[in-house]
Amino acid sequence: MDNPQISIERIKYLKRIKRQKEKILAWQIGILVCFLLLWEILAQAGIIDSFVLSQPSRIWKTCLNMAQNDLQKHIGITVYETLAGFILGVILGTALAFVLWWSSTISKISEPYLVVLNSLPKIALGPVIIIIVGAGTQAIIFMALAISLIVTVLEMLNGFQNTDKEYIKMAQTFDATKFQIFRKIVFPYNIATLFNSLKINIGLSLVGVIAGEFLVSKAGLGYLIVYGGQVFQLDLVMTSVIILAIVAALMYEAVALLQRVVMKKYGH
């Protein structure tokens, strides 16, 4: 940057990097286009059964059709449930991790329970959850929470416990209280850990929501998938799955964007 005159080697280097990036993007788009084309052609030619596997043109038609009905409502409900489960999971998970960080005794006592709960497939608790909190949106949010909570606790606790001991010792030399150590050292030190866990959690919450919607729901993308399957409208199923993939990607990107904004402020 010190040299205003950029050398020829530098220009070549920058060009090469740019070309490489363009090449990768072209391949990514190309593969998608080829896949869709191939799918459409094979379905048109009758080689694959478009009744079972649908086809891009039919998905597009279904999509337009649904957009005029209540697609937004279904997307909205799934997004709402996912975000609710996600935010609850992150707040509760971080709070629990804080408690376990604070007291190594509580942490040691709860360790076997956490390990078992972590490996238990939370979907198995579905019927219990429905009976306890009632069949409805709250059961779905609870399911999303159940799936993301333990992972958050373990991930955040691991981060908290692995905070650089020297930083903590430094704060102790100033006679910092345990809470000050948490607020000024341990928590800011783990902002990156928090975002890693947010990125994992947004996916996990979505898994919980879809599983919950499979079990109990009258709306949402999970509901559309189950309903489509039951009435043998595979176009509806495929369309919902694709919309779900787009929604998942967008939510992940939103978290990644938030991370970039926060890291710009805190990280260096």
Partner 1 sequence: MAVLDVNRIQKKYQAENGEITALKYIDFSVEKGEFISIVGPSGCGKSTLLSIIAGLMKPTSGEIVVNGEKIEGISNRIGYMLQKDNLLEWRTIYNNVVLGIEIQNNLTSENKQRVNQLLKTYELYDFKEKYPSQLSGGMRQRVALIRTLAINPDILLLDEAFSALDYQTRLTVTNDIYQILKQERVTTLMVTHDIPEGISMADRVVILSYRPAVIKDIIPIEFGLENRTPLNCRKTPKFSEYFDCIWKELS
188 lies in the binding site for partner 1 (CB under 8 A) = yes
116 lies in the binding site for partner 1 (CB under 8 A) = no
Half-sphere exposure of 226 (CA within 13 A, CB side): 15
58 lies in the binding site for partner 1 (CB under 8 A) = no
258 lies in the binding site for partner 1 (CB under 8 A) = no
Q: How far is the CB of 184 from partner 1 (least distance, A)?
A: 7
Residues 189, 166: contact at Cβ < 8 Å? no
Residue 3 φ then ψ, to 5°? -95, 115
Q: Which residues lie closer than 8 Å to 83 by C-beta, 6 or more apart?
A: 205, 251
Q: Which is nearer to partner 1, 62 or 190 (CB)?
A: 190
CA-CA distance, 242 to 190, in Å (whole number)?
A: 35
Q: Which is nearer to partner 1, 57 or 180 (CB)?
A: 180
End-to-end CA distance of the chain: 20
167 lies in the binding site for partner 1 (CB under 8 A) = yes
Total residues at the site for partner 1 (CB under 8 A)? 19
2 lies in the binding site for partner 1 (CB under 8 A) = no
Encoded tokens for 26: 């072209």
175 lies in the binding site for partner 1 (CB under 8 A) = yes
> Of the candidates 147, 171, 194, 237, which one interacts with partner 1 according to CB under 8 A?
171
Part in contact with partner 1 (CB under 8 A); list of ranges 5-13, 150-158, 179-187, 210-218: 179-187
Part in contact with partner 1 (CB under 8 A); list of ranges 39-47, 108-116, 174-182, 229-237: 174-182
261 lies in the binding site for partner 1 (CB under 8 A) = no
1 lies in the binding site for partner 1 (CB under 8 A) = no
> Of the candidates 180, 229, 242, 247, which one interacts with partner 1 according to CB under 8 A?
180
Using a 10 angstrom Cβ sphere, with 0-12 exposed, 13-18 middle and 19 or more buried, the burial of residue 94 is buried
Measured at the CA of 203, the angle between CA 97 and CA 81, to 5 degrees, comes to 90
CA-CA distance, 145 to 157, in Å (whole number)?
A: 17
179 lies in the binding site for partner 1 (CB under 8 A) = no
> Of the candidates 92, 135, 191, 242, which one interacts with partner 1 according to CB under 8 A?
191
266 lies in the binding site for partner 1 (CB under 8 A) = yes
138 lies in the binding site for partner 1 (CB under 8 A) = no
Residues 160, 98: contact at Cβ < 8 Å? yes
Q: Which is nearer to partner 1, 63 or 262 (CB)?
A: 262
The site for partner 1 (CB under 8 A) is made up of: 164, 166-167, 169-176, 180, 184-185, 188, 191, 266-268
